[in-house]
Amino acid sequence: MKVNTSPLLQGELLNHHAQGKNNFVGHIGGDDFVVIFRSADWRECCERIICEFDAQVRAFYSSQDLQCEGIEALDRNGSPTFYPLLGLAIGVVHPDASRCDSHNEVAELATQAKKKPKRCRTVGCLSPAVADGTTVSIRLADHRVLLA
Can you give the residue ranges of every domain in the chain? 3-141
d(CA 95, CA 99): 8
DSSP string, 40-92: TTHHHHHHHHHHHHHHHGGGGS-HHHHHHTEEEEE-TTS-EEEEEPPEEEEEE
| pLDDT at position 56 over 50 | yes
Nearest Cα neighbor of 89 from 143, 29, 17, 9 is: 143
pLDDT reading at 65 higher than 90: yes
- The top-scoring range by mean pLDDT among 8-17, 26-35, 64-73, 117-126 is 64-73
What is the C-alpha to C-alpha distance for residues 145 and 148, in angstroms, rounded to an integer? 9
Which has the minimum average pLDDT: 76-80, 92-96, 101-105, 144-148?
Answer: 144-148
Give, in order, the Cα–Cα distances in Å from 148 to each of 2, 27, 67, 71, 114. 29, 24, 27, 26, 11
pLDDT the model gives residue 119: 53
Q: What integer is the mean pLDDT of 85-96?
A: 78
Q: Yes or no: say if 94 and 135 are a contact pair by the CB < 8 Å rule.
A: yes
Q: Which amino acid is at 58?
A: R
